[in-house]
Amino acid sequence: MSETQDVPPAAPGSSGPGTTGQAPAGPEEAPVRPVLRAAAAKRANASVLGMFIALAISIAVFLPIVLLNPGPKSDGYRPNIDVAAVSRNATDVAGFTPAVPDTGGAYRANYARWESGTTSGVPTWEVGYLTPNESFIGLVQTRQPNPTWLLQQTRNAGVTGTRSAGGADWELRDTSKGQKSMVLVRAGTTVVLSGAAKLDEFSVLAAAVVQAIDSSAASTPAAPAAPNTPAATDAADATISAPAAPSP
């Protein structure tokens, strides 16, 4: 006699005989999309619009102020160097009148000084000039040059020729790096012009230097002759009035 066993029905969602134990796949859930209500959207648009309005008002307020107060038109600080005054102060210690070239304001001095020569052993008058093209030319003048000092001033450049300026023939020296020098001996002084400017700019300054030196030499009075002292006069009279000694 066989016994039968009642098999309870499978619970919903449980795996029955012959099943894999996985729940049947349902439909995919749709992603949640935020919904911006009309009132919130209106407030957001109003904030952006208000920002642009405020920016436009700020520009309208400050733009006239900027236009009515333009920036300075100068191209930087330019020192006011009175080369003539510095030259007058240095004349006594220099022993000559330092050259003050007049270029009609085309060349601007950015320094002028007397160097006592403590380091180099050569006292010099030095002036720096800026040309109309903003190039630099340095002027150095001395009464006590030497070959070593001259090579230092011209950066060991060799003589490449001569150049006429102001009615004088200047010695021209040129380096391979564009540095040029013009050298002139005049009125007992040696003048060296050095820089990277064009030769035409050198010539303008050189001509003004020659004119300044010649003007100073012409205006300097000659030293008066030493007056005869009474002793010297008496000695001369005695020499003239003394009779010649008879020949033996």
Q: Read out DSSP for 200-242?
A: HHHHHHHHHHHHHHHHHHHHSPPPPPPPPPHHHHHHHHHHHHS
pLDDT band at 214 (very low <50, low <70, confident <90, very high): very high
Is 210 part of any domain?
yes
For the stretch 81-104, pLDDT in tens is: 999 999 999 999 999 999 999 999
Residue 98 domain-assigned?
Answer: yes
When pLDDT is cut at 50, 70 and 90, the band that residue 40 belongs to is low
Answer yes or no: is 200 within a domain: yes
Q: Is residue 120 part of a domain?
A: yes
The residue ranges of DSSP E strands in the chain, in sequence order, are 108-115, 124-130, 136-142, 159-165, 168-174, 180-186, 189-195
For residue 144, tell me if it sits in a domain: yes
Contact yes or no for 172/162 (Cβ under 8 A): yes
Does residue 229 sit within a domain? no
Question: For residue 24, how many C-alpha atoms fall within 13 Å in the half-sphere facing its CB?
Answer: 5
Checking if the pLDDT of 47 tops 90, the result is no
C-alpha to C-alpha distance for 88 and 140, rounded to whole angstroms:
16
Give 77 or 238, the one with higher predicted confidence.
Answer: 77
How many domains does the chain divide into? 1
Residue 55 located in a structural domain: no
What is the pLDDT confidence band of residue 53, given thresholds at 50, 70 and 90? confident
Contact between 173 and 183 (Cβ < 8 Å): yes
Return the pLDDT at 241: 37
Q: Which domain holds residue 205?
A: 83-219
Confidence of residue 73 (pLDDT cuts 50, 70, 90): low
What pLDDT, on a 0 to 100 scale, did the predictor assign at position 111? Answer: 97
Annotate 59-86 with b (16+ C-beta within 10 A) or e (fewer).
eeeeeeeeeeeeeeeeeeeeeebebeeb
Our CA dihedral for 153, 159, 164, 170, rounded to 10 degrees, sits at 40
155-167 tens-digit pLDDT: 999 999 999 999 9
Q: What is the pLDDT of residue 28?
A: 60
Q: How confident is the model at residue 71 (pLDDT cuts 50, 70, 90)?
A: low
Statement: residue 56 has pLDDT above 50: yes
The helix or strand, by DSSP H or E, that contains position 29, with its residue range, turns out to be: none
Tell me the chain's radius of gyration from C-alpha atoms. Answer: 48
State the Cα–Cα distance between residues 104 and 65, nearest whole angstrom: 39
Taking the complete model, does pTM exceed 0.75, yes or no? no
The domain that holds 91 is classified in CATH as: 3.30.200.100
Quick check: is 3 in a domain?
no
> What does the pLDDT average to over 184-211?
97
Asked whether residue 10 carries a pLDDT value surpassing 90, the answer given is no
> What are the pLDDT digits (tens) for 227-247?
444 444 343 343 333 444 444
Handedness of CA 153, 159, 164, 170 (dihedral sign): positive
- Average pLDDT over the chain, rounded to an integer: 79
Q: Decide: 197 and 149 in contact? Cβ < 8 Å.
A: no
Chain position carrying tokens 């040696």: 190
